[in-house]
A and B are shown apart, each in its own frame.
Chain A
């Protein structure tokens, strides 16, 4: 079975500082996508960033960037210049192109931003 692991149930960061959320995944598939989703207290699921496994270049979206280590099956999210609005639950997720069950989510990391 495909799995996604987030080893940090909770993390905190000072406003304006940088924080990195960890994610590892386990698969024998070669074609897949990786995602980070943000879930604020409103419960809405918001896509933060995505990475295609065949791309070696790490994805970046404004203050959000990833460190994709394919050989190590690691996909960490870095948030720079943290803002109060970044406080949320963050989910790492994977999508496998040749696997019946499409999306697999990790258990989540709750991020607190301290003023």
Chain B
């Protein structure tokens, strides 16, 4: 089944304790992206990756890191989480972001992160 998977789905942690949220897709997609969703703000892009070893900042990159060593994986790293990073996080992928092959993004199920 074609899908984007994220782990963990729920995480409660404390301020300053490094964590990683994994994201994996099995569709051979080039483009992957991370978003955070907060009430009243919709989804905001954190980082995106056009292909392996190519990443760039989105709208709200502060406090986050990413890496793209393999095409299928795009982990999100919080080196020193803070309470303002409590949010719902989505990973997404698509075949490409370049027309005419551009198509929809496929979203993972989301990760609910709480930082105490």
Contacts and interface: CB of A to CB of B under 8 A. Distances in A.
Contacts of B102: 33, 95
B88 interface: yes
Contacts of A108: 40, 42
B33 A103 contact: yes
A103 B59 CA distance: 9
A30 interface: no
Residue of B57, B105, B110 ringed by the most chain A CB atoms within 10 A: B105
Contacts, number: 54
A11 interface: no
What DSSP secondary structure best describes chain B's contact surface?
Answer: strand
A105 B42 CA distance: 6
Contacts of B44: 105
A93 B107 CA distance: 14
A84 interface: no
Nearest to B92: A45
Interface residues of B, number: 24
Given A35-B104, A45-B90, A50-B104, A102 B109 contact: no
A62 interface: no
B43 interface: yes
Interface string B32-48: 01010000111111001
B45 A101 contact: yes
Interface string A88-112: 0001010101001111111110000
A43 B42 contact: no
B104 A100 contact: no
Contacts of B110: 43-44
Contacts of A100: 56
Interface of A: 4, 6, 9, 33, 35, 42-45, 47, 50, 91, 93, 95, 97, 100-108
Interface of B: 33, 35, 40-45, 48, 56-59, 88, 90, 92, 97, 99, 102, 104-105, 107, 109-110
